Amino acid sequence: MATETPTRREALRITAVAGIGLTLAGGVVVELVRRANLHRVSVTRTQLGTAVTVTVVHPDADEAHAMVNGALNEIERLEGVFSRYRPETPVARLNRKGRVTDAPGELLEVVSSALDYSRLTGGAFDVTVAPVLNLYLSRFAATDVPPTDAEVSAAMALVGWQGLRINGRTIVLERPGMAITLDAIAKGFVVDRAVATLTAAGADRVIVDAGGDMATRATGDDPWQVAIQDPHDPRGSLGVVQLRGESFASSGDYMQYFTPDRRLNHTIDPRTGRSPQHSSGSSVRAPTAMDADALSTAVFVLGPRDGVALLDRLERIEGMIVTKTGELFASRGFPSDSVA
């Protein structure tokens, strides 16, 4: 029997399912997209401390490559604003000197949003947790023994979002030794900017994935479909979430951890100085990747009861939390047919 050539719309629907390799074999997808005179261009680079993948589906391959490169260049530019490891970035200078003047607009926007989320979550989200995180990073780089309670308490004396202030274009840390980490919010902001760059260049079907922080643009009624990672099974999925231009982010003890049992991991509760003991993973769908990034961290810290309660209070935002024992708690807005 003769095989019909798919229309461009049909091929877009196929890439919605298989764009990140969920359902169909890659070779099948490539062939179907090719026959519809579309090109799926996907490039992965190590940026923002993780693997960043930018994917564009477009009729012109050269234009798609140019769009992808433009987005990756924008990500690189913004990493030069937000990285705390590059010594001359505004964030690194703020952490070193306690003050940065003439802060870039992007940094002002992200820090302002971070403070909003600290207020919203009662301090469960707090970018000034950096001294405690740095304590764990330095300790476990040298030994398998965690910091003592006294050492954690000393680092906690430098934590408190109320000590982070914005005055015009100046950002100040009020106490010597304070520092910020924007890892749980700036990555989402950068992903949003990458999608905006692609859209401005004429792309109408894209997905940008930075280590689980995703933002999309989709045409018509054909969504991207993204698998929800099972935190207890590295090869498992808890279901699929559909993205029609929305964003998605996950946090989990399985991503980066200090101890084999994951009870000490890179997500630190700014209120206690320890990793949350109730959550194993969290996922949030939101209008922007910055929102999803910050909220996935916040609800992971808050835990099943308070985290879901927070999601239920917010419009156009939904998500779920998986506990250490494998129990699943979802907000009211999270579609039940998304979860296996």
Position 202, amino acid: G
Choose among 315, 325, 277, 265: nearest CA to 295: 315
For residue 228, is it within any domain?
A: no
Residue 27 — very low, low, confident or very high, per pLDDT cuts 50/70/90?
Answer: very low
Question: Where do we find the tokens 């929305």?
Answer: 246
Q: State the CATH number of the domain containing residue 218.
A: 3.10.520.10
* pLDDT single digits (tens) 293-306: 999 999 999 999 99
How far is the C-alpha of 310 from the C-alpha of 300, rounded, in Å?
11
Q: Is the pLDDT at 206 greater than 90, yes or no?
A: yes
Residues 106 and 39 grouped into a single domain: no
- Identify whether the C-beta of residue 323 lies closer than 8 Å to the C-beta of residue 304: yes
Q: Is the pLDDT at 23 greater than 70, yes or no?
A: no
For residue 230, is it within any domain?
A: no
- Looking at residue 221, its pLDDT comes to 66
Residues 187 and 254 grouped into a single domain: no
Residues 75 and 201 grouped into a single domain: yes
For residue 232, is it within any domain?
A: no
Residues 124 and 257 grouped into a single domain: no
What residues make up the domain containing 95? 90-173
- Looking at residue 312, its pLDDT comes to 96
Q: Is the pLDDT at 316 greater than 50, yes or no?
A: yes
For residue 98, is it within any domain?
A: yes
Question: Where among 116, 149, 173 does a domain terminate?
Answer: 173
Residue 5 — very low, low, confident or very high, per pLDDT cuts 50/70/90?
Answer: very low
- Looking at residue 114, its pLDDT comes to 98
Which of 31-35, 42-46, 105-109 has the highest mean predicted lDDT (pLDDT)? Answer: 105-109
Q: State the CATH number of the domain containing residue 155.
A: 1.10.3980.10
Residues 159 and 109 grouped into a single domain: yes
CA dist list (Å): 19 to 121, 207, 225, 287, 339: 34, 8, 8, 20, 19
Residue 34 — very low, low, confident or very high, per pLDDT cuts 50/70/90?
Answer: low
pTM of the model: 0.87
Residues 152 and 202 grouped into a single domain: no
**Number of domains the chain contains:** 3
Q: Which helix (H) or strand (E) holds 105?
A: helix 105-120
Q: Is the pLDDT at 336 greater than 80, yes or no?
A: no
How far is the C-alpha of 340 from the C-alpha of 337, rounded, in Å?
7
Q: Is the pLDDT at 26 greater than 50, yes or no?
A: no
Residues 214 and 292 grouped into a single domain: no
For residue 229, is it within any domain?
A: no
Residues 142 and 158 grouped into a single domain: yes
Give the pLDDT mean for 10-15: 38
**Counts for the chain of helices (H) and strands (E), in that order:** 9, 13
* Least confident window among 51-55, 223-227, 333-337: 333-337
For residue 35, is it within any domain?
A: yes
For residue 73, is it within any domain?
A: yes
Residues 217 and 151 grouped into a single domain: no
DSSP letters along 27-76, please? HHHHHHHHHTT-EEEEEEEEETTEEEEEEEEES-HHHHHHHHHHHHHHHH
Residues 165 and 198 grouped into a single domain: no
For residue 2, is it within any domain?
A: yes
Residues 169 and 187 grouped into a single domain: no
- Looking at residue 32, its pLDDT comes to 45
Q: Is the pLDDT at 195 greater than 80, yes or no?
A: yes
Residues 68 and 124 grouped into a single domain: no
Question: Where among 144, 173, 202 does a domain terminate?
Answer: 173
User: In a 3-state reduction of DSSP, which class is residue 152?
Assistant: helix
